[in-house]
Amino acid sequence: MSLAVPSEDIVAMTPANHVVPSAVRRFFALAAVTALYFFLMAGSFNALGVVLPAMVRDLGLSWSDAGFGFTLLGLACGLTSPLPAMAIRRFGIVATLVAAGILLGLGFSLLACASSQLQYDLGTLLIGCAFTIGGTVPGTYVVANLFEQSSRPMGIYFGVGGLGSIAGPLFYLGVNDVFHAWRPFWWLCALATGLCGLAAALVVRGIHFGHAHDDTIRTAGWPARAALSVPAFWVIVASYTGCLAISTTLHGFSVQHFTEHGLSSAHAAEIMSLVAFFAAAGSFLAGEVGRIMGARVLTVAATGAMTLAAVDLLLPQSSLTLGVFVLTMGLGVGLSYVASPMLLLEYFGTRQNLELYATMCLISTAAAFGPWFGGAIHDSTGSFRAIFIAFGALGLALTIAVSFLRRPRLRDEA
Nearest 5°: the CA angle 158, 238, 339 is: 25
The Cα diameter of the chain in Å comes to 67
Please write down the HEC assignment for all residues of 62-101.
CHHHHHHHHHHHHHHHHHCCHHHHHHHHHHCHHHHHHHHH
Structural contact between residues 110 and 162, judged by C-beta atoms closer than 8 angstroms = no
Query: Exposed, middle or buried: residue 262 (CB in 10 Å: 0-12, 13-18, 19+)?
Result: exposed
Rounded CA gap, 161 and 34, in Å? 5
Q: pLDDT tens digits for the chain (414 residues)?
A: 333 333 333 333 334 444 556 777 788 888 888 989 998 888 887 788 788 888 888 888 887 788 788 778 877 877 787 788 788 878 888 889 999 989 999 999 999 998 888 999 999 999 988 988 888 778 877 877 777 666 678 778 887 887 887 788 888 888 888 888 899 999 999 998 988 888 888 888 877 765 443 343 344 567 778 888 889 999 999 999 999 888 888 877 887 888 888 888 778 878 887 887 888 788 778 777 777 777 888 899 999 999 999 999 888 888 899 999 999 998 898 888 788 888 888 888 766 777 787 788 778 777 777 777 887 888 888 788 888 899 999 999 999 999 998 888 776 444
Q: Indicate the pTM of the whole model.
A: 0.66
The one-letter amino acid at 215? D
Q: Please provide the CATH number assigned to the domain covering 7-403.
A: 1.20.1250.20
Provide the CA 43 distance to its chain's centre, in angstroms: 12
Following DSSP, what letter does each residue of 179-232 receive, concatenated?
HSSSHHHHHHHHHHHHHHHHHHHHHHTT--GGGSS-HHHHH-B--HHHHHTSHH
Q: In sequence order, which residues have a C-beta less than 8 Å from that of residue 260 and are 6 or more positions away?
A: 383
Extents of the domains making up the chain: 7-403
